[in-house]
Homo-oligomer: A and B are copies of this chain.
Amino acid sequence: MSNAAPLSGVIPPVCTPLTPEREVDTASLTRLVDHLLEGGVHGLFVLGSSSEAAFLPDGHRRTVLDTVVGHVAGQVPVLAGVIDMTAPRVADHARAAAEAGADALVATAPFYARTHPAEIATHFRTVAAVADVPVYAYDLPVAVHSKLTANVLLELAADGVLAGLKDSSGDDAGLREVILGRRDRGLESFAVLTGSELTVDSALWMGADGVVPGLGNVDPHGYVRLYDAAARGDWTAAREEQERLFRLFGLVHVGGPHMGRSSSALGAFKAALFLCGVIAHPTTALPQVPLDGAEIDQVKSFLSEAALI
């Protein structure tokens, strides 16, 4: 474990713009990166769940990496998701991400096959052994169907296997257990980032180092204001910003019962970026159901109310 300060700040999971033919729209992706950098974010996380990584073939994943790493050119760290079922498959993504110049990797627990804490630990050890860059654990039980425990995480942190955690479990008591555990064990360089974009003020209050907010694609300035307010100790301002963002987040629910919750949320983020003129098409990857016109109008209302358009 190095003594360096942990990764911190606002690190949005970057949406992956697609053309109507569902190829990666690299021009839009570049504009989106600029939009986020101008918003003041402290890092970028590509190929995460909000990036539709589960829907991107390896070729698309590589295009995203090359485009973003090349365009960012070291201004901020670029973290790359290496989402796949188990370590041997994740290792292939890890090699590709390293080759493309990613600064760090983000991996979930194994999924598809039923797993076990001992297997989860071996999984991360195996991934870290092939990676030349720091590895962050991504806790996302809604997708992965297991929960990373503080015990496993801190054991792996102590052994230098993991550089940090992106916690999207929604379990703030569990988040606190990791935060207090790293303090007790002197693992302060282990980064704790929350992916719960609706409780960022309280996560930072508990001691988290930063946030990975899907909604940060749409309103990076908001999350940066929230983070900055917390950093300077103005918690009331942080809370007010969070409450404003909470209301804006309502746009993820515009999709009706004819689609899944993921289609609705990712469709809404892309529709918002399209309506704001950041990306050229609101297209989502197959087999997601696209938002219809009325649903896109609702996204527009949320943006108007937030004075984003």
Chain A interface (Cβ within 8 Å of chain B)? 22, 49, 54-60, 83, 85-89, 91-92, 110-116, 118-123, 125-126, 142-145, 170-173, 176-177, 180, 196, 198-199, 201-202, 205-206, 235, 239, 243, 246-247, 257-263, 285-289
Contacts and interface: CB of A to CB of B under 8 A. Distances in A.
A176 B243 CA distance: 9
A83 to B, nearest CB: 7
Contacts of A243: 180
A22 B170 contact: no
21 contacts: A22-B88, A54-B86, A55-B85, A55-B88, A57-B91, A57-B92, A58-B92, A83-B85, A86-B285, A86-B286, A88-B285, A111-B112, A112-B143, A115-B262, A116-B289, A118-B289, A120-B287, A170-B173, A173-B196, A176-B198, A180-B247
A116 B260 contact: yes
Contacts of A263: 116, 119
Contacts of A122: 286-287, 289
Contacts of A144: 112
B110 A88 contact: no
Contacts of A113: 49, 54-55, 143, 260, 262
A119 B260 contact: yes
Nearest to A111: B112
B198 A173 contact: yes
A55 B89 CA distance: 7
A150 to B, nearest CB: 11
A180 B86 CA distance: 37
Contacts of A125: 287
Nearest to A122: B287
B180 A199 contact: no
Contacts of A286: 86-88, 122-123, 126
